[in-house]
Amino acid sequence: MTRLELQSATELGRKIAAREISSRETTQYFLDRVEALNSRIFALNLVDGQRALELSDNIDKRLQAGESLSPLAGVPMAIKDVLCTRGIATTCGSRILNGFVPPYDATAVEKLLSAGLVPIGKSNMDEFAMGGSTENSAYGVTRNPWNLACTPGGSSGGAAAAVAAGLAPISIGTDTGGSVRQPAALCGVCGMKPTYGRISRYGLVAFASSLDQIGPLAHRVEDIASTLQILAGYDQRDSTSLNEPVPEYCKQLDAPIKGLRVGVIREHLEHESLDPEVRAAVERAQLLLEDMGVTMVDVHLPHTKYSVPAYYLIAPCEASSNLARYEGTHYGFRSSAAPQADSPLESMMVNSRSEGFGNEVKRRIMLGTFALSAGYYDAYYKKALRVRRLIAQDYRSAFDKVDVVLGPTTPTPAFKLGEKLDDPVQMYLCDLFTVGANLAGLPGISLPAGQDETGLPLAVQLQAPALDEVQLLNVAYQLQTAGLFQQQVAELS
């Protein structure tokens, strides 16, 4: 059998549909890779091989019966452990949800199963999606397949590492401040955050409800487009879901982009923390676009310097509210410590939360609770919301001049595990170039763009106006076709 991990998900789907290879053979192949490699990188914290093979057999039977299925039917995938999966544990990387088995599937999971994709397991993540290195999981640290001493990024680090190591052709992650795009960049794969509301959040365990968005990771832009086609659409169970038509993303990938205007974000490209090799990758992408007849325009996001402070006020405030439900009474972890006789219920809740949450989650809960408290709401949270509006206005002004904007995804390539754990501010600054899209609700995609001199992946980021994923994917696909990157799978040494 040829090396299936070197093939795109779309190509695998075509071969399965043509019955050149069965879904079972494909799924077993990736399960064997998981068996051989996952212990070294810990991309998946749960593997359900038996169920995956049963689902694969069902796809093969349906194809044999002549059914017409989706282009990705029978293709294996991994699901971030923050999405509810019926009958399968969902922990959010936290001890406090240890043993929690949802009685329902998230809408995104429902859609993927209906389209015939085959989940092989749940991917590891920073606890409750709070982190940029996947070192905050209660179940273990995930490593970057390109260098096991380095982080894969976060919080969807397991999802990115699984694709980068060839454990799954597609992973589903979530992006609250860059948690799909940043690990995609550090692991050398494609990762997309769609417009806020484009994909239903029903069944996504909330971190920050006004910022969270589900997004796919894969090796190729066409795989991202095909997966988005399945996931996108209105869901009445999610009050923030957008009731807008869903375009056919794959049909316009190869449309000419000559004459388009692409903006270069000067504040990002000239930032003092930007690694020179990352800057060079952005400049290479710029040259490729110019060769395709694109007009490059400098654009400015003057309030971008406030994006990280605004995000790290708004997100913790929402998190402190969303995580209040985890108190040891209904589901998940409950402390075994003896409660105080004079306040047994309250002390049980305090003990359960103290023992069940990790340090980063506690830090953000305390920060959010403080910022929402009497006397500080106006000074912090309300002011951050005003800055958020200014950041969104900056993007609107930029998109009056250009169709898409180009810049770096991350300030640097992957950093060493443990390097930033004792300095939360430095960890938060890894989101410098990604949080703006979340605050403004815009779509963005990270694309591989070669490697640095040590062999670590480099990446660039494209962002577009709300609901203009078609144009975003079109430009991304053309950059890939022009040679910005080729599909690569990390070889673990």
Structure tokens at 204: 């996504």
Q: Write down the pLDDT at residue 199.
A: 98
Residue 237: count of CB within 10 angstroms of its CB? 11
Quick one: three-class SS letters along 28-69? HHHHHHHHHHHHHHCCEEEECHHHHHHHHHHHHHHHHCCCCC
What was the pLDDT predicted at 36?
97
What's the mean pLDDT in 136-144?
98
- How far the first Cα of the chain sits from its last, in Å, is 22
Residue-wise pLDDT tens digits, 193-234: 999 999 999 999 999 999 999 999 999 999 999 999 999 999
CA 441 to chain centre: 15
pLDDT in tens, 335-386: 988 888 788 889 999 999 999 999 999 999 999 999 999 889 999 999 999 9
Pick the closest to residue 77 from 200, 227, 207, 237 (CA basis).
Answer: 227
- Is residue 114's pLDDT more than 80? yes
Residue 1 has pLDDT above 70, yes or no: no
Contact 129, 162 (CB under 8 A): no
- Per-residue confidence (pLDDT) for residue 342, from 0 to 100: 81
User: What pLDDT, on the 0 to 100 scale, is given for residue 402?
Assistant: 98
Q: What is the pLDDT averaged over residues 20-34?
A: 98
Mean pLDDT of 1-15: 92
163 pLDDT exceeds 90?
Answer: yes
Residue 306 has pLDDT above 60, yes or no: yes
Least confident of 147-156, 173-182, 332-341: 332-341
Confidence of residue 3 (pLDDT cuts 50, 70, 90): very high
Average model confidence (pLDDT) across the chain: 96
Give residue 332's pLDDT: 84
What is the C-alpha to C-alpha distance for residues 150 and 133, in angstroms, rounded to an integer? 9
pLDDT at position 284, please? 98
The identity of residue 150, as a single letter, is C
- Measured CA to CA in angstroms, residue 312 lies from 216, 322, 411, 438, 461 at distances of 24, 15, 18, 12, 21
pLDDT digits (tens, 9 = 90+) for 408-465: 999 999 999 999 999 999 999 999 999 999 999 999 999 999 999 999 999 999 999 9
Q: What DSSP assignment string belongs to 132-182?
A: SSS---TT----BTTBTTB---SSSHHHHHHHHTTS-SEEEEE-SSSTTHH
Task: Give the pLDDT band of residue 331 (cuts 50, 70, 90).
Answer: confident
DSSP states along 63-97: HHTT----TTTT-EEEEETTB-BTTB---TT-GGG
Query: Could you tell me how far CA 376 lies from the centroid of its own chain?
Result: 32
In order of their start, the domains of the chain are 4-258+472-481 (3.90.1300.10)
For residue 250 the two structure tokens come to 């794959």
The pLDDT confidence band at residue 493, using thresholds 50, 70 and 90, is: low
What does the alpha-carbon distance between residue 214 and residue 237 come to, in Å, rounded to a whole number?
15
- Number of helices followed by number of strands (H, E) in the chain: 16, 11
Check if the beta carbon of residue 175 is closer than 8 Å to that of residue 132: no
What string of H, E and C letters represents the secondary structure of 108-121?
A: HHHHHHHCCCEEEE
Residues 232-249: what's their mean pLDDT? 98
Distance, in Å, from the CA atom of 152 to the CA atom of 158, rounded to the nearest integer, reads 8
The H-or-E segment that residue 285 falls in is helix 276-291
Would you place residue 330 in the very low, low, confident or very high pLDDT band (cuts 50, 70, 90)?
confident
What was the pLDDT predicted at 27?
98
Cα-based distances in Å from 465 to 187, 392, 405, 447? 26, 10, 9, 18
pLDDT on residue 487:
87
pLDDT at residue number 343: 84
Active site residues: 80, 155, 179
Q: Is the pTM of this model over 0.75?
A: yes
Cα 442 from Cα 194, distance rounded (Å): 7
Specify the residue for token string 């993303």: 249
Under the banding of pLDDT at 50, 70 and 90, the label for residue 470 is very high
Angle (CA) 110 112 114, round 5°: 65
Q: What's the mean pLDDT in 92-111?
A: 96
